């Protein structure tokens, strides 16, 4: 097996659970790592949290003992408030962990505003973890690895026992259609840090690479995506540079990216029953339009925003004596 896109066991201790982002399956995964205690890696979005909690309850794995957030972006951390409330109703307090650098961003309601779709919740009461620390789950240990670039305060987690690296969004995205997508998202993208993180991952002897979007990779596919990330980033960046005057024209950018890189969201399936029925009943071209509306246009808009925020010169700080 080289790629896992659907909900399944990744190894003897790890269950990949689809978070149902935006009402679509195959877009966002969270990972439940099970030792004597359980750890949920990321939580998905706020609106999708009830779906995720329902999945965990059906699997008889709710609530987890610990949640580790790879980074403070809305689609990874905004599920925390709902999960906390549901856990308290079950008589349990869930411990929340994140990078010390991520904690002030998790508290900041405005941090995710460049994505639109707010208002966002403040996520507080989070304990810091630092590079090199171990999260002890009892028989399973998760090694914390700083992995900035995609976002300030991004961490990855390495399960040494199962040689499994939970990379969050640090590397980027690998769709079911085989397309690599870079992670230059707003508001804190750092290209140099991204490349340093890739080199750090090259030195890790992992066998499985668990991505937060579009599933996990194993074997040669897991290693190859590191090379692909480095090789592809300049191509994507150049396309946005050449279209810098049209970054607010999402339809145009979708067309330009599709012509350059091919289909953007292969393998996405809808969650809601009404959408499932719609996909069966609609002609194929209409089904593709629906899937495109679910993820492609927002993704392209976010990339454009990330590009703009990274390239527009920032005002110089005050000078004086």
CATH value at residue 197: 3.60.15.10
Pull the structure tokens for residue 80.
Answer: 């925390």
User: Rounded mean pLDDT of 64-68?
Assistant: 98
User: Rounded mean pLDDT of 36-48?
Assistant: 97
Residues 127 and 269 in one domain: no
Statement: residue 289 has pLDDT above 90: no
Give, in order, the Cα–Cα distances in Å from 118 to each of 87, 185, 220, 251: 24, 17, 39, 22
pLDDT computed for residue 84 by the predictor: 98
Statement: residue 261 has pLDDT above 70: yes
pLDDT computed for residue 20 by the predictor: 87
Which of 200, 233, 266 is the C-terminal boundary of a domain?
233
Q: Is residue 320 part of a domain?
A: no
Give me the domain span that covers residue 183: 3-233
Statement: residue 32 has pLDDT above 70: yes
User: Rounded mean pLDDT of 134-151?
Assistant: 98
Residue 169, SS3 per DSSP: coil
Half-sphere exposure of 241 toward its Cβ, with a 13 Å CA cutoff? 8
Statement: residue 218 has pLDDT above 70: yes
Statement: residue 1 has pLDDT above 50: no
Residues 154 and 115 in one domain: yes
User: Rounded mean pLDDT of 226-254?
Assistant: 95
pLDDT computed for residue 3 by the predictor: 74
Which of 233, 259, 274 is the C-terminal boundary of a domain?
233
For 241-251, the pLDDT digits (tens) are 999 999 999 99
User: Rounded mean pLDDT of 11-17?
Assistant: 96
Report the C-alpha gap between 101 and 57 in whole angstroms.
32
Residue with tokens 């209409």: 286
Residues 50 and 131 in one domain: yes
Residue 21, SS3 per DSSP: helix
Residues 59 and 169 in one domain: yes
Statement: residue 284 has pLDDT above 70: no
Residues 80 and 137 in one domain: yes
Q: Is residue 321 part of a domain?
A: no
Q: Is residue 304 part of a domain?
A: yes
Pull the structure tokens for residue 260.
Answer: 């350059």
Residues 74 and 210 in one domain: yes
Q: Where are the beta strands (DSSP E) in the chain?
A: 3-4, 8-11, 14-18, 24-25, 29-34, 38-41, 66-68, 95-99, 127-129, 134-136, 141-146, 155-159, 164-168, 173-174, 180-181, 208-211, 216-218, 269-270
Q: Residues 133, 110: contact at Cβ < 8 Å?
A: no
User: Rounded mean pLDDT of 43-54?
Assistant: 96
pLDDT computed for residue 266 by the predictor: 61
Which one has a higher pLDDT value, 221 or 276? 221
Q: Is residue 319 part of a domain?
A: no
Residues 180 and 95 in one domain: yes
Q: Is residue 316 part of a domain?
A: no
pLDDT computed for residue 236 by the predictor: 95
Report the C-alpha gap between 321 and 315 in whole angstroms.
19
- Mean pLDDT is highest, among 6-10, 22-26, 191-195, for 191-195
pLDDT band at 94; cut points 50, 70, 90 = very high
Cα-to-chain-centroid distance, residue 254: 21
Statement: residue 184 has pLDDT above 90: yes
Which of 105, 187, 213, 211 shows the shortest CA–CA distance to 153? 105
Number of domains within the chain: 2
User: Rounded mean pLDDT of 200-204?
Assistant: 96
- Exposure string over 90-118, b if 16+ CB within 10 A, otherwise e: eeeebebbbbebbbebbeeeebbebbeee
pLDDT computed for residue 30 by the predictor: 97
Report the C-alpha gap between 314 and 104 in whole angstroms.
21
**Averaged pLDDT score across all residues of the chain:** 89
pLDDT computed for residue 5 by the predictor: 78
Q: Is residue 314 part of a domain?
A: no
Report the C-alpha gap between 277 and 274 in whole angstroms.
5
Pull the structure tokens for residue 177.
Answer: 């259609």
């Amino acid at each position: 097996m080289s790629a896992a896109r659907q909900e399944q066991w990744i190894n003897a201790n790890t269950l990949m659970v689809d978070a149902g982002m935006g009402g679509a399956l195959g877009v966002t995964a969270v990972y439940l790592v099970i030792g004597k205690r359980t750890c949920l890696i990321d939580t998905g979005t706020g609106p999708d949290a009830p779906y995720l909690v329902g999945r965990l309850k059906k699997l008889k794995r709710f609530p987890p003992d610990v949640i580790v957030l790879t980074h403070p972006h809305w689609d990874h951390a905004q599920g925390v408030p709902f999960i906390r409330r549901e856990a308290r109703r079950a008589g349990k307090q869930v411990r929340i962990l994140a990078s010390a650098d991520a904690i002030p961003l998790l508290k900041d309601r405005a941090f995710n505003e460049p994505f639109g779709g707010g208002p966002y919740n403040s996520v507080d009461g989070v304990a810091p973890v630092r590079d090199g620390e171990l999260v002890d789950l009892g028989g399973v240990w998760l090694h914390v690895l700083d992995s900035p670039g995609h976002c300030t305060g991004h961490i990855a987690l390495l399960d040494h026992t199962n040689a499994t690296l939970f990379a969050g969004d640090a590397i980027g995205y690998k769709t079911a259609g085989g397309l690599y997508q870079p992670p230059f998202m707003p508001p804190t993208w750092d290209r140099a840090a991204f490349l340093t993180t890739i080199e750090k991952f090259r030195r890790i002897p992992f066998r499985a690479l668990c991505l937060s979007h579009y599933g996990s990779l194993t074997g040669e596919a897991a290693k190859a995506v590191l090379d692909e990330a480095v090789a592809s980033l300049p191509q994507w960046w150049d396309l946005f540079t050449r279209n810098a005057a049209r970054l607010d024209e999402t339809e145009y950018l979708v067309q330009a990216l599709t012509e350059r890189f091919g289909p953007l969201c292969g393998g996405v399936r809808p969650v809601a029953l009404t959408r499932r029925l719609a996909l069966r009943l609609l002609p194929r071209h209409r089904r593709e339009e629906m899937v495109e509306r679910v993820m492609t246009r927002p993704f392209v808009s976010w990339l454009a925003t990330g590009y703009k925020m990274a390239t527009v010169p920032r005002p110089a700080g005050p000078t004086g004596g």
